[in-house]
Amino acid sequence: MQKRYTRVASILAAGALTALGGTASAQQEYPSRPIRFITPYAPGGSTSVLARLVGQHFTERWGQNVIVDNRPGGNTVIGTETLAKAPPDGYTIMLVASTHAILSSLIKTPYDPIKDFVPVAGLGVSPQVLVVHPGVPANTVQEFIALAKAKPGQLNFASSGAGGPTHLSGELFNIIAGVKTQHIPYKGAGPAMVDLIGGHVQMFYSVPINIIGHVKSGKLKAIAVTSESRLKALPQTPTFAEAGLPKFDVKTWTGVLAPAGTPRAIVDKLSGEIGALLAMPETVSKLDGLGMAAGYRNSQQFADLIRSEIERYRGVIKTANIRID
């Protein structure tokens, strides 16, 4: 009888070890198929560039394709809701920007910006540059303010979406400078840039990555930047503080989200690889050249940032009485 019990125990122990080995193997196999990387904006903007950069790193490290899936529309709601409804298995992630912390204070979203997602990692922070069409007869902030005051309601500013940081920038500039410019929303920075270069709108508050090439080629004029110091890529462009508007300080952060319920081991694996990418000197140099400061935040640090930004923007929106028309 004792031998029988011993044999049964051995079989059960072996089975348990096999199961544990299978579980460990399954975890090690992630990712075993392509990853879908959503950006809630149209192609051609900074989020597409960053998604491709991160996706390429994942592919090089893991040998799996990363498909950048642009889902513009609804002020980023369409793409973000798609992520919220995706299976929490690590095979659908999203490139998120500051809009995520702003929008719920302006409209009722079909998802909770905190409860329906798990932060994976923060990528960095970008200042915003006020750029204008070359035909606009102003080369400095003060000249532009004078022009806007002389033509109230006649100058239009583009945004990459209503309720996003580029929209908020325009509304805050109106308040701080005491002018009235009209908001024209687009489904991403790409379409906004096309119309700005074409002269259909006069101005745009953009992260540097979208406009540096156009400024250098003469297709756009850079008036000022919200960073504490001048950008290496645009050394001739003054900061807003230098230009006499120190209170105008709006920046855009970016990061990666996954659906709520995504296993912690997968979140940590994704986050760790993003951290490794952002620690590479060539990555830091590339982002610096595009006007973005690489700044890795792990999952908890990124979660803390999102919560604090939601509270900050809620206060700004209430104080400035900003609304989406």
Q: Among 84-93, 158-167, 256-265, 293-302, whose mean pLDDT is lowest?
A: 158-167
**Using an 8 Å Cβ cutoff, are 164 and 187 in contact?**
no
Tell which residue, 37, 51, 49, 75, has the closest CA to residue 209: 49
* pLDDT tens track for 252-307: 899 999 999 999 999 999 999 999 999 999 999 988 877 888 899 999 999 999 99
Domains of the chain: 33-126+252-320 (3.40.190.150), 129-225 (3.40.190.10)
**Using an 8 Å Cβ cutoff, are 91 and 252 in contact?**
no
Tell which residue, 112, 95, 121, has the closest CA to residue 260: 112
**Using an 8 Å Cβ cutoff, are 164 and 98 in contact?**
yes
Give the Cα-Cα-Cα angle 115, 169, 207 (nearest 5 degrees): 85
* pLDDT tens track for 210-266: 899 999 999 999 999 998 889 988 999 999 999 999 988 888 899 999 999 999 999
Residue 227 CA: distances (Å) to CA of 73, 100, 178, 208: 29, 21, 22, 11
- The reported pLDDT for the residue numbered 46 is 81
* pLDDT tens track for 207-223: 898 899 999 999 999 99
